[in-house]
Amino acid sequence: METRVIQLIMELRRQGITDTRVLAAIERVPRERFVADQFLKHAYDNIALPITQGQTISQPFVVAYMTEALRLGDRMKVLEIGTGSGYQSMVLAKLCRRVYTIERYRSLLQTAQRRFADLGVNNITAKLGDGNKGWVEQAPFDRILVTAAADRRPETLLEQLSPDGGIMVAPVAVSAIEQDVIRYTRTGDDIQEERLLPVRFVPLLPGIAREAAG
């Protein structure tokens, strides 16, 4: 195992990540395959890095924290909103039965899909779409992870969450300048909310992105 991977795992432990399955998943996903060449030497630094289209691959601590907060089981069906680089999808794919992930930039989606194929992962289904709408045909989901900041409680996604103890973890704006990771736990029509961690995510935007061809 590479020294810098071991160092990252040790740092995540120091920051309070205790779930050994989550730590093992992070250890096994090669983050260098999800960052641009010019950032290769920072691939295992505990920092967010820019990807294309003004988006970011999240900080490993935040990936670990949100993944742990989901309380995943290995038989679960999970929806992710915001495929981005595909890194978080890969971490989820190590810990559950199947991941459905939605991205609004076709170019990001295609790059992520190529990475999934190159890494031989076969339990991720990715599509172009507006994540605000969820993935009706595949609902309900045992777990939902949103990786872009919503400006309010994502009601449509909560409707696609299993009523039988389904959990959604999402960064949600709590004021004009602050976002918190919120954990929503659904039992029937009752939704319990816990504020977990202040964060900074790129915004959850409406609709599919327009991009120049090519």
CB atoms within 10 A of CB 26: 24
Residue from the set 31, 94, 98, 104 that interacts with ligand SAH by CB under 6 A: 104
Annotation says 85 is catalytic: no
For residue 199, give the DSSP letter. E
When the beta carbons of 67 and 162 are compared against ligand SAH, the nearer one is 67
Stretch that binds ligand SAH, among 80-88, 92-100, 163-171, 190-198 (CB under 6 A): 80-88
> In 45-68, which positions are buried (b, 16+ CB within 10 angstroms) versus exposed (e)?
beebbebeeebbbbbbbbbbbbbb
List of residues 6+ apart from 210 with CB closer than 8 A: none
Cα atoms found within 13 Å of the Cα of residue 77, Cβ hemisphere only: 11
Site string for ligand SAH, 172-211 (x = CB under 6 A): ------------------------------x-xx------
Extract the tokens encoding 35. 């960052």
Site string for ligand SAH, 43-62 (x = CB under 6 A): ------------xxxx----
Of all residues in this chain, which one has the CB nearest to ligand SAH in the complex? 84
Per CB under 6 A, residues contacting ligand SAH are: 55-58, 81-82, 84-85, 87-88, 102-105, 108, 130-132, 147-148, 202, 204-205
